[in-house]
Structure 1
């Protein structure tokens, strides 16, 4: 079973959410369902307001692939460098900026940080 820990300036303390064995939906949907105040303007991946830092809670590094839409928006809002934008895959350590509305929840353990 996965576990997602949310930390942010709008939270008094860390909030942990258990994720079932067959999770469905986005990080933003999960946060909203649990009353976690992630910033968001459009909920459709058009504005970049829901950018969060996602850190896996495991020691090894994995390579991840961002969608073209997510890469473009993160570049547009200054959360991704040109070098990162052009890369096919990126290491998940150090934590990467991701769009909560695009990040699909899986059975994993991650820390999500937001303003």
Structure 2
């Protein structure tokens, strides 16, 4: 089980839900199941509208997070992942801060998911 906390200006308050790790449900699916409206259009990793910031809340090292080729391309083209972050992801299994909710599979770790509520608009990382 994983605790997933959703935070956005469009929510009255942060919402924490339990997700079954590894059941192949994306974060977008978990959000929909819990009536949390993350903007989405294509739901296939190509448009970038479901952009989220993921922070791992556990004290242990993050699990290796696989990024799909579509997600790598969409994040890179939209300026949400640098070449250094891409390299760190591919060689050290270090997840980048921004992800696409439609591509992110929930792992057995507690996470904070932040989103702006506007399609493809990032949350300020300086928060």
TM-score, structure 2 as length reference = 0.77
Report the counterpart of residue 33 of structure 2 in structure 1: 33
Distance in 1 between the 2:107 and 2:82 partners?
A: 26
Distance in 1 between the 2:66 and 2:51 partners?
A: 16
Aligned length, in residue pairs: 113
Distance in 1 between the 2:4 and 2:74 partners?
A: 24
Unaligned runs of 5+ in 1: none
Runs of 4+, deviation exceeding 6 Å:
none
2:72 matches 1:67: no
Higher alpha-carbon deviation: 44-53 or 56-65: 56-65
Cα displacement (A) at 1:65: 4.0
CA RMSD of aligned residues (A): 2.0
Distance in 1 between the 2:21 and 2:82 partners?
A: 34
Distance in 2 between the 1:42 and 1:28 partners?
A: 12
Report the counterpart of residue 54 of structure 1 in structure 2: 54
Larger fraction in strand: 1
Unaligned runs of 5+ in 2: 117-127
TM-score, structure 1 as length reference = 0.84
